Chain A
Amino acid sequence: MKKILLFAAALILSAFCLSAASADSGEFVFILKGRGNVFWQVVRNGIDETASERGVSAVILHTDDDQTPEAQLNICLTSIARKPKVIVLGAATRNVGIECFKKAAAAGITVADIDGNVTIDEARAAGVSMAFTVTSDNYGIGKLAAERLAQIASSPSPRVLVIKGLPGSIVSEKRARGFVDRLRELMPGALVVGEPDAYWDRMKAMNTTLDVIQREAQLDYIFSVSDAMTTGIVEALKITRKADRIKIISVDGLADARKAVISDRIESDVAQLPYLMGKRAVELAIDSAANKMLGQIEYVPTPVLTKESLLANQSPYFKYLR
């Protein structure tokens, strides 16, 4: 009995301590995806550091991975209860995003999007006024990748494999569509031999590449819509000794992919600048809390990283590479 009472007392004391520690409601809440996804970790770093610099309180919450919309909705509803000034959401799906925004807006909280999974128009159509969205132009990213390929291609009719992410992912689809559409304009003779999905997973991208190479012995290029998958593709080409023959163009521009570009394992990488995305999300959130903001769209630049540009440190945006 004594032990039970002691345990209960310790539990109550811990509860009070935790309550004191979390008394700060956080003016700005950022709900992101993929705790294990390096892209979102860099976004988080951008948010963290900018919030510290600007002296604002930012609460950053993640879901376990990119594929848990319900968990993200639960996080959103819990965040609304904390009554922040602004909620910025990197929505797992558009529907979850809109549902979260509706509830937050009804509670008088300013809402905004990061990474473009809910557009201003989609929110407006659902009756929600979004303050801003900060995103990359994913279709434009695909186009840049195709333009890079056209620039380096040694033949007018290369064979190209497109590795997409999660089936149905808007981000993945836009990048792939942008790439294929632009490639067809610039190189009508190019052949896209397949667009398999690799679920943003390294091993799956590796196995899929190994399978496709079986039937496509003359493959020239691979366009991968994210660095997370590209690292698996790099290993696949190493195993099959096709790294010299097949060139990879990737997206995201994360640290390990940049190393791979410098060491010629990846031909080029269209950088998303997630750090800058996080930074601008905080700055716009502060502005929107101070002045009513409606429907502002901000596209983060997407420089194409090549070995030459990285070594020369050419672009003014490279300072945001993390």
Chain B
Amino acid sequence: MITASSQKLGLSKGRFRRAALSFARNCAFLLILCVFFSISSRYFLTFSNIENILTSSSVLALLALGSVFVIASGGIDLSVAAVMALSGVVTAAVYRDNPELSSWLALLICASVGTLCGVVSGILLALTRAPSFIISLGMLSVTRALAYIVANGAPIYDLPQNVTEWGQGTVLGVPGPVAIMLLALIGSYLILHHTRLGTHILVLGDNSFAAEAMGIRIHNLRTKIFAISGALSGVAGFVFMTRTNAGDPTAGQNYELMAITAVILGGANLFGGKATIIGTVMGVLCLGVLQNGLNLLAVSSYYQVLFVGVVLISAAMLERFEDMA
């Protein structure tokens, strides 16, 4: 006899099975890439190269972590890279004129600018009821233009050393960008998987009518989601700025697409309701390992782009087989 509780157990078992399969797929993919490059290049599996992969992937990982929340809720945020650029430029401009300021303030400014942009996106969504694709596309143009205006079109170079230490130094032996990425990963994981906010986000993505029926205030929730995305984009801007020692209005062109790619590669459903933080980071690492490995093998840029495309299509096919299983 099927009772409500056994039904519930059946649903949980099914979801757990799908999540486990998705995790296993991500691991397998990453493992295959690592094994392939370890065999092809003796420089791949070294401590310094692994550290290099993690550091190089940190900016994209932060953007992807922000994108997870938006995609999980059934939306999309195309402005993440432009917000990242604006955050970096505003902060660099502040430090150009005030180099004596504490470096913690740089992180705060970046995150604040990003959060503000996210809140504006959320409010615009609530006011216009337009698709997030349209609003975020508009915000992409606005924030990118603001970045050019603040920077007067040119990168702002030569930040104080106490600021660039974050991107070029280490924290307890861990590269600064990796430490920031890990903290963001832990925070994002806890929010999405262990808070009511996270549950509401997934419910919204799964079924917005059900979310509304449950009493969830959709517009408030969307504003919070975009604020989180904006905040993480701002932190990504901080890492980008401190790594490259410049606030650059052209930073991150097309990174938004890579961030979305990493989220989908990690097993998220583009239409919402399904996303994992660990999967997303695995997606980012797959892209990072691929890029690093191809550079180590000195593969031509034309073929690098081809390989990335093939990997993405393969990942999509694997997910399809997994859904059919």
Residues of A within 8 A of B168 (CB): 235, 238-239
- Are B248 and A211 within 8 A (Cβ)? no
Chain B residues touching A, range: 35 or more
For chain B, residues 282 to 325, give those with C-beta under 8 angstroms from any C-beta of chain A: 291-292, 295-296, 298, 300-302
- Are B48 and A214 within 8 A (Cβ)? yes
B117 vs chain A, min Cβ distance (A)? 19
Residues of A within 8 A of B302 (CB): 167
In the complex, B276 has a CB within 8 A of chain A: no
Residues of A within 8 A of B148 (CB): 35-36
- Are B154 and A38 within 8 A (Cβ)? yes
- Are A231 and B155 within 8 A (Cβ)? yes
Of the listed stretches B61-69, B189-197, B239-247, chain A binds: B239-247
Contact of B56 among A36, A202, A207, A212 (CB under 8 A): A207
In the complex, A203 has a CB within 8 A of chain B: yes
For chain B, residues 238 to 289, give those with C-beta under 8 angstroms from any C-beta of chain A: 240, 243-246, 248-253
**Closest A residue by C-beta to B49:** A214
A-B CB contacts (within 8 Å), total count: 80
Contact of B251 among A167, A203, A211, A235 (CB under 8 A): A203
Residues of A within 8 A of B300 (CB): 167
Q: How many residues of A contact B (CB 8 A)?
A: 30
Residues of B within 8 A of A235 (CB): 168, 243-245
A208 vs chain B, min Cβ distance (A)? 6
What CA separation (Å) do A115 and B243 show in the bound complex? 31
A264 vs chain B, min Cβ distance (A)? 14
Contact of A202 among B41, B154, B158, B248 (CB under 8 A): B248
What CA separation (Å) do A57 and B158 show in the bound complex? 37
In the complex, A75 has a CB within 8 A of chain B: no
In the complex, A215 has a CB within 8 A of chain B: yes
What CA separation (Å) do A238 and B243 show in the bound complex? 10
A250 vs chain B, min Cβ distance (A)? 14
**Closest B residue by C-beta to A211:** B295
Contact of B295 among A35, A37, A203, A208 (CB under 8 A): A208
- Are A210 and B296 within 8 A (Cβ)? no
What CA separation (Å) do A45 and B296 show in the bound complex? 40
Q: Can you report 12 A-B residue pairs in the complex whose CB atoms are below 8 A from each other?
A: A38-B153, A41-B153, A65-B253, A203-B240, A206-B244, A208-B295, A211-B291, A214-B296, A215-B41, A215-B43, A232-B244, A235-B245
Given contacts A36-B250, A38-B155, A215-B43, list 8 more A-B pairs with CB under 8 A.
A35-B153, A41-B153, A41-B154, A197-B301, A211-B292, A211-B296, A212-B295, A214-B49
10 nearest interchain CB pairs?
A211-B295, A36-B250, A197-B301, A215-B43, A167-B301, A207-B56, A214-B49, A256-B157, A214-B43, A239-B168
